[in-house]
Structure 1
């Protein structure tokens, strides 16, 4: 009788373990299939030069959260005055996808990572990011003005909210 009880207990224990593990696996699979890691979908940074070049850094995550750090001479790019500092907003994922699709269709992902000559000092840099691919474009790089214009137009339409510490 003791052997019989031990076998039943062992069988019940094995069944409990197997069903418990399969339930956890299902939860893990469900969780992992809906989890989307946050990453930068779209970005554009322009650096200063010795003249009146606009300087800013703009990034949008794949969930639409955007950040903008405003430097100097950005009125023309953004279409209005924003004080120097940090801003946040949310941008439509559809608009982000349109720009990233445009960039990818025009060969952005095949570009070199860097177009530069370290001896050239007075040219501003345009650093763009599309779905994880970043291109540093200062000297002898491809003409990405159409892409930059699309990104800057998106920036100009956004309803930017100043972060604490941004001067007014």
Structure 2
């Protein structure tokens, strides 16, 4: 083989090996460091009774912001989530398969076969590297489509509430329209 051609082939092989190694290293780094959400927001709406209505958001750095709308003790409150709580929330979002759900389960256009009035609703929004995904679920929406995702939405909302300990700001149900300032 001609010396110039041998040098070219060796250079090409070395370059290919280097680039292939860089791709493998990048794939390994990505798999070890999973993408986490930049923020997760849970919004609960009121019902005919005294269902707590509030919005709670947690960001990737652990900042918790709570805004009480009705039937809660805290008007505005904040806190800090631990890395373990954040990991549990991110895992719950993934397990629920939020991105595979419809954006809305509130009316007949969303697959609700029947819509009962005066029920609370849940809206969950996740913002991550892929973008923003919101699922709006009205508990009065019934039928095969809604009933298929209801357990996953309910479990995800419960997980967010439990991990962020929203009960400390909800407290005992208040009279309609009353909201007290948070002491915490």
1:107 equivalent among 80, 92, 97: 97
Structure 1 residue 121, shift from structure 2 partner: 4.1
Structure 2 runs not aligned, ≥5 long: 1-36, 109-114, 170-179
Report Cα offsets for 1:54-93 as digits up to 9, x if no partner: 111100111111100123334xxxxxxxx33100111123
| Match in the other structure for 2:134 | 134
User: CA–CA distance in 2 between the matches of 1:106 and 1:121?
Assistant: 26
- Secondary structure of the corresponding residue to residue 165 of structure 2: helix
Structure 1 residue 153, shift from structure 2 partner: 0.7
- Larger mean Cα displacement after TM superposition, 126-135 or 106-115: 126-135
User: CA–CA distance in 2 between the matches of 1:88 and 1:101?
Assistant: 22
Residues 23-34 of structure 1 mapped to structure 2, 5 A cutoff: none
- Secondary structure of the corresponding residue to residue 71 of structure 1: strand
- Secondary structure of the corresponding residue to residue 50 of structure 1: coil
Aligned: 1:124 with 2:114: no
Aligned: 1:154 with 2:181: no
Q: 1:167 to 1:145 in 2, by over 3 A?
A: closer
Q: How many residues align?
A: 118
Structure 1 runs not aligned, ≥5 long: 1-38, 75-82
| Match in the other structure for 1:20 | none
User: CA–CA distance in 2 between the matches of 1:126 and 1:167?
Assistant: 23
Q: Highest CA radius of gyration, 1 or 2?
A: 1
Report 1 or 2 for greater relative contact order, CA contacts < 8 Å, sequence distance ≥ 6: 2
- Secondary structure of the corresponding residue to residue 49 of structure 2: coil
Structure 1 residue 159, shift from structure 2 partner: 7.6
Calculate the TM-score normalised by the size of structure 1: 0.59
Calculate the TM-score normalised by the size of structure 2: 0.54
